[in-house]
Copies of this chain bind each other. A is one copy, B any other.
Amino acid sequence: MTELDNTTEKKILDAAKVVFLEKGFDGARMQEIADEAKINKALLHYYFRCKDNLFNAIFQEAFQQFLPKVAEVMMTEKPLFEKIEFFIDNYITMLLNNPHLPGFIMHELNRNPGRIVNIIKSSGVKPEYLGIAIQKEVDAGLIIPIDPVHLIINMLGLCLFPIIGKPIITGFFFNGSTRAYQKFLSERKKEVTSFVINSIKKK
């Protein structure tokens, strides 16, 4: 960011991110974004002309944040188990800092799946990298064979669901106790890492 961080535009974007991520496009109100940014509603339109433009700016940024961590693990040259550990650790950390992110991305993509094609293109990530790393370990007899796509989806599901499913988990398993849920979350890195590695390690 070369510009000053306290410009009106930045304040609007910050506010819009809070509101959109919490309420989604349909649930968000321009008025609420204006309030959150402590400015007038008309200024939103002065800067972004319409709700759609503002939303797109937020979605773009959110998706960048959501995706790169998936990409990193594929790009590095580490051995597979380190790759997995690195990915899970980093990804869960990011999710803990952005708990609304996954639900927002999922919901908005399902609401408008066409959106994704433009965004994917500009990401330049190639899942093949992880495939190569996995094949190496299979050849060395270190792990059982597994389809790299399934492996990545497994890891994503294990990392994401505890965040998206907060209300269900809290309500259903912890009787509404947010503290118990937080404790549960703090165990996830260790739990997911060993769960994944156990499942692909040769017996």
A165 in the interface (beta carbon within 8 A): yes
Count of A interface residues, CB-CB < 8 Å: 58
User: Least Cβ distance of A11 to chain B in Å?
Assistant: 25
Cross-chain contact A147 with B191 (CB below 8 angstroms): yes
Instruction: Point out which of A110, A154, A192 has the most chain B C-beta atoms below 10 A from its C-beta.
Output: A110
Cross-chain contact A110 with B103 (CB below 8 angstroms): yes
Contact mask for chain A residues 106-127; partner B; CB cutoff 8 A; 1 contact, 0 none: 1101110100110010000101
Main secondary structure of the interface of A (DSSP, over half): helix
User: Least Cβ distance of A187 to chain B in Å?
Assistant: 7
For A110, list chain B residues within 8 Å (CB).
100, 103, 164, 166-167
For A165, list chain B residues within 8 Å (CB).
106, 153, 156-157, 160
**Among B116, B157, B195, B200, contact of A161 (Cβ-Cβ < 8 Å):** B157
CA distance A158 to B152 in the complex (A): 11
Cross-chain contact B109 with A168 (CB below 8 angstroms): yes
5 further contact pairs, Cβ within 8 A, besides A110-B166, A157-B165: A23-B26, A144-B198, A150-B191, A157-B157, A157-B158
